[in-house]
Structure 1
């Protein structure tokens, strides 16, 4: 190690400053080249990572759509099965009316719950629905 350090040290009077400047310039060029290579590698890595995330996001979205479709059909099967099961007890029209009314009541319950949450959210956020501060 000592030999390397003494080799780089300029000796007074024999142009050692020029040698040290050239070495520093070469080191800076190498550092810039390595930084460029590192930046290119990082860019390539991030690009491939983004491509992977995009492909996976598309697959995830398709799987979620398929799951939603299957859940919809399962719910429809439940509704039709309930109408068929209640048919002998209430008659076909009564069963249809009962299932429809229960589903409408469930939808109204969800809508009123959502409305209450919107009002509470806007009140907390500082905006009122009516605009009059109440």
Structure 2
């Protein structure tokens, strides 16, 4: 409250625009609400909070779902580009080896290298799959 408003507050008639201080004329504090009112207010506030939290989580799920679709789409395109790059690498390797060992020799070398790489990766995957399977096996001891 500003100082120039003090005169207006002092001259205001009783009961109008005067804040209730919760005190009677003798200086004793009077309770403004009962315990039941406080509990009802608390329940209502809890309900309001729960509704707000539910709405927040709904909007959060919608946001995550939308972003997840974008992530999946971008990953699919990235994997497609990686595949095309690897195909170009294989074709380039064939062209590079063809003058030195001939067309059939280049194809044999590239196919052999790819099969060797696939075999190594397959063995690594099998070992990891066994580790996962062992983690879920029950102890028979």
Q: TM-score when scaled to structure 2?
A: 0.71
Large movers: runs of 4+ above 6 Å: none
How far residue 23 of structure 1 moved from its aligned partner, in angstroms, is 1.8
Q: State which drifts further: 74-83 or 33-42.
A: 33-42
* Residue 30 of structure 2: aligned partner: 7
Over aligned residue pairs, what C-alpha RMSD do you find?
2.7
* Residue 117 of structure 2: aligned partner: 106
* Residue 44 of structure 1: aligned partner: 55
Q: State the Cα deviation string for residues 72-102 of structure 1 (Å, max 9, x = none).
A: 0000000000001111111111111110011
Higher helix proportion (structure 1 or 2): 1
Gaps of 5+ in 1: 9-19
How far residue 49 of structure 1 moved from its aligned partner, in angstroms, is 0.6
Q: TM-score when scaled to structure 1?
A: 0.74
Flag the structure with larger Rg: 2
Q: State the Cα deviation string for residues 29-74 of structure 1 (Å, max 9, x = none).
A: 2222211111111111110011101111111111111110000000
**Number of residue pairs aligned between Structure 1 and Structure 2:** 116
